[in-house]
Structures are given as C-alpha cells and as structure tokens.
Copies of this chain bind each other. A is one copy, B any other.
C-alpha cells in the first residue's frame, strides 16, 4: 500500500487535487495549505511526480478509476475537486477504467470527438453530476494567476502593443473553432499558431524560421500571446506559463510574452520575473478581448 492516511479526516471539507505531471499540482497544493485548506492528492500513475507526491497526503490512482476515486473522496471528506498538471495523451496502459467509467463510456466517446474544450467542459459536467464541486486554480489561489501589468522590469513598447492586439484578435477569431491558445506575432505578421503540439513547440518553430531566414522582422521583435479559448473551462485547463516559456521566447528572439491577466496560471511569478529580466524580455498580463489595430 502506498496510500498514506491523511492527517485528519474530519473538520473542514478537504480539497481533492487530481495530479498530472509537472510542478503545478504542488504549487497549487502549497497555496491551498497556506490558506489553511486540507488537501488530498490523487496522483495519476504515469504522470504525477512520485518523489514530490510523498510529501503530501495522497492516493495513487490509475486514470479511469472514477468509482475508486468517489469512494476514497467520500472517506476523506472531499467534495471540492481540482484537476491540475499536464496529462498528454495517455497510453492505453495508464488507463484502467472501472465499472463506473465503463458505464459512462458512451458519453465519454461523444466528448472525445471534437476539440479539447468540448472534452473538458463535458468532463466538468460529468464530475458535477456526481455531486462534486469542480474548482479551478483561480478559485483556490488567485495569487497563482497572472496579474495585470508586467511581471519583471521590462515593458512592451508601441510595436509590441500592436503585436499583442493583433495576437489577441487572431486568438479571438479562432476561438470558436477550438484551435490553439497561443500565437506568435512579430511586426504585425503572424509567425505561428499553436496546435496540439503545444506552446513550447510553436515558439520553437519561430526560432527555426528565424534561423532559416524565413521571417522578415529582426530578432528582438515579436510577442508570444496566450489566452484561454472562449468557453474553455478555466477550472480544468488554464493556460500556463513557466520559466521554460521565457527560455523558449528568448531562444526565438522575441521581445516578450503577453498573457491574459486573471486567466493564466503562473506557479512561480518571482522566478518568471527574474528569468524575464535576465533575458531582457517583458512578461505582461493584459486584458482579454483586444481588437486588431
């Protein structure tokens, strides 16, 4: 048994955190605990980091064990639940559907067709139908979401502001079609639109295009613009930036990063500010719904 009994099972309802990969689940757990909240991690096998999970009350689980989750959550007194951390397409071996998931399969298959948003909002509904309350990072720890304005000491100039407006306009235009959360715009030209490959790879593409001389604008221009999709369930999939986002933007010769304030997850704002300053990039929280210049 690698399940550890939580410190207490009574009192304030605990927060169940279903953990995918990366450090975000622990940042969220720490923030919730700082606010006096009891947390129980449901660590997804094959995704959650075993070395870090052990520091928290936790239960290991396979993806798909919804009935088991419900049983343990009841014992633990969890009614609030949060999903966090990356879960790229799971291999068949990491999914062990139990009878409850099997019964829900027709519904899940319907959700699986269509884009990510469709899938996510459907999962949110499924969970709430089973008596849970789904919370997002913003509900649990608003200090982990991007503030309005710059994180470090660099700020966007006029050209960057125009690129940010163009980027937000492109993201808005694509939003009904459930495409990417991010675009790169330089000197008013769209250099990359994120697809299922994710933000880091879309930005790496810009680095390559620049190296191959396929981009007109010089190094030091261009902005990575990220925004949640329209109708995206902020409780399940909030756009995220981390130090690797800053490193990627620097490698692509961008001037900075703009994300929508309040709806972007920033686990370590001080770390980001420091790496942005080192790379001489701006990282700025902007209001959503920009229009093209």
Binding site for B on A (CB under 8 A): 88-89, 91, 112-116, 166, 169-170, 173-174, 176-180, 187-193, 195-197, 205, 209, 213-216, 292
Q: State in angstroms the CA–CA spacing of A196 and B189 once bound together.
A: 9
Contacts of A176 in B (CB 8 A): 173, 292
In the complex, the answer to whether B173 meets A196 with C-beta atoms within 8 Å is no
Q: Is the interface of A mostly helix, strand, loop or mixed?
A: loop
In the complex, the answer to whether B114 meets A177 with C-beta atoms within 8 Å is no
One of B177, B197, B209, B213 near A170 (C-beta < 8 A): B177
> So how many copies of this chain end up in the complex?
2
Q: State in angstroms the CA–CA spacing of A193 and B190 once bound together.
A: 11
Query: Among A89, A169, A188, A189, which residue has the most Cβ atoms of chain B within 10 A?
Result: A189
Contacts of A205 in B (CB 8 A): 195, 197
- Which residue of chain B has its CB nearest to the CB of A201? B205
Contacts of A214 in B (CB 8 A): 88-89, 196-197
Contacts of A192 in B (CB 8 A): 195
- Interchain nearest-CB distance for A78 vs B (Å): 30
Supply 18 further A-B pairs (C-beta < 8 A) apart from A114-B188, A115-B188, A192-B195: A89-B216, A113-B188, A115-B189, A115-B190, A170-B179, A173-B174, A174-B193, A177-B190, A177-B292, A178-B190, A179-B190, A189-B196, A190-B195, A191-B195, A191-B196, A193-B195, A195-B209, A197-B205
- Which residue of chain B has its CB nearest to the CB of A189? B115
- Interchain nearest-CB distance for A190 vs B (Å): 4
Q: State in angstroms the CA–CA spacing of A178 and B215 once bound together.
A: 14
- Which residue of chain B has its CB nearest to the CB of A194? B193
Q: State in angstroms the CA–CA spacing of A91 and B187 once bound together.
A: 20
> Which 6 residue pairs are nearest across A and B when measured between Cβ atoms?
A193-B193, A179-B190, A173-B173, A170-B177, A192-B195, A89-B213
One of B166, B180, B187, B215 near A193 (C-beta < 8 A): B180
- Interchain nearest-CB distance for A278 vs B (Å): 28
- Which residue of chain B has its CB nearest to the CB of A198? B214
